[in-house]
Structure 1
Amino acid sequence: MNLIPTKKALPLFSAIPKSQKESPNLERSFYSWHANYFTFNRKKILVLVNDKSFSPIVLADINAKNKKDLNHMIKAGIEEVFSYSNMPPVQIKKYFLKAGRLEISSNYNRSIISINNSMIQHCQFFTEEIDFQTNLQPTIMKFLANTPYRSQTPEYFISTEIVAIELKKLI
């Protein structure tokens, strides 16, 4: 599974290994996630977006102490956001088996970054909803997952629908 952080967010992912692949796949993949963050009350709020489904993961209070657990937080976030599609947990487990381990990749898609930035702007309006007692922010994630987005196509779509379609393809 590829994580593609912005240059600004790259230091947050120092505990995750870099990809050894020389030429990463440039097409939108269900196993790639773009990442960026914003700061609220001097705490970093990390927002990850799936390249194919635009599924969001929002993690609060990412700092030097807990960035070594970022791998587990991201996997928990994927399980949470994919559960909004009403798919059985077995299909989500198949996703993790096929995706492989988390690696930092360097390719990026500017249209996905713009969607990531749009989600960050939405999150900034929901700062009252951020619960700093836990890293995972399911209320904000659920709102963003049900917000329609579009990229390189004329039609809008909701991430939960695309996740359901993609998870059904995993056999």
Structure 2
Amino acid sequence: MMTIQCTKKLATELDVPLSNEKPENFNPLYCWHAHLFSFNRRKCILVMNNETRYNFVMFGLLKADFKRFSDLIVKQLSDNLLADGIEQALVDNYLQNRGDVSYTPTSDRSIIGQINDMIMVAQYVMNGNIIDTGDPEIDQVNRMLNRFVMLKLPKLYSGETMHDALQNF
């Protein structure tokens, strides 16, 4: 089962009940934290994997997007993994074994701290992109976020750590 651990701000926007139960056959690779933030009056969500710290920003979400959030997050995850150069077979294998999406409250303060750091970096880069081109260029931002050094990871980069985790899955 894929678990999305939502901050209170995101849970309020999603309007879904949060479960405190840990699923059977729990795999930490299927556990993600997500936080809602605003950029240029647009709603955005930064999603981060608990184990690998792989992360991406979902930009410019509308009210309808929050109603179909489970499907949207799976699509965004797939698109970002493929754009980061992870093989289609690994992505397909990961997504086929995910099960249903469940929502729980956040559980790890260190991940929340890293999410906040990544949001600051993303906003800085998006501001620069808007000044230069008039577009936040969210794909470029997402590629850059997983090349950001995280000292707690065995490979230092979340993109490489996610790739290794999927190969060993």
- Are the counterparts in 1 of residues 3 and 32 from structure 2 also a CA contact under 8 Å? yes
Structure 2 length normalisation: TM-score? 0.81
Please give the alpha-carbon distance, in whole angstroms, between the structure 1 residues aligned to 2:71 and 2:162.
Answer: 20
Q: What is the rounded CA distance, in whole Å, between the counterparts of 1:51 and 1:150 in structure 2?
A: 15
State the AA in 2 paired with 1:148: V
Inter-CA distance 6–107: structure 2 relative to 1 (3 Å threshold): closer
Q: Does residue 10 in structure 1 map to residue 31 in structure 2?
A: no
Query: Does structure 1 conserve the Cα–Cα contact (< 8 Å) formed by 2:33 and 2:106?
Result: no
Task: After superposing the two structures, state which structure 1 stretch, 86-95 or 75-84, moved more.
Answer: 75-84
Q: CA separation of 1:58/1:104 partners in 2, compared to 1, >3 Å: closer, same or farther?
A: same
Q: Which runs of 5+ in 2 are unaligned?
A: none
TM-score, scaled to structure 1: 0.80
More helix by share: 2
Mapping of residues 86-125 of structure 1, within 5 Å? 86-125=85-124
The 1:13–1:132 alpha-carbon spacing in structure 2 relative to 1, beyond 3 Å, is farther
Q: CA deviation at 1:69?
A: 2.9
- Equivalent residue, structure 2, for 1:58: 57
Tell me if structure 2 keeps the 8 A contact 1:57–1:74. no
Q: Which runs of 5+ in 1 are unaligned?
A: none
Q: Secondary structure at the match of 2:97?
A: helix
Identity of aligned residues (%): 22
How many residues end up aligned between the 2 structures? 164
1:70 aligns with 2:65: no
RMSD after superposition? 3.0
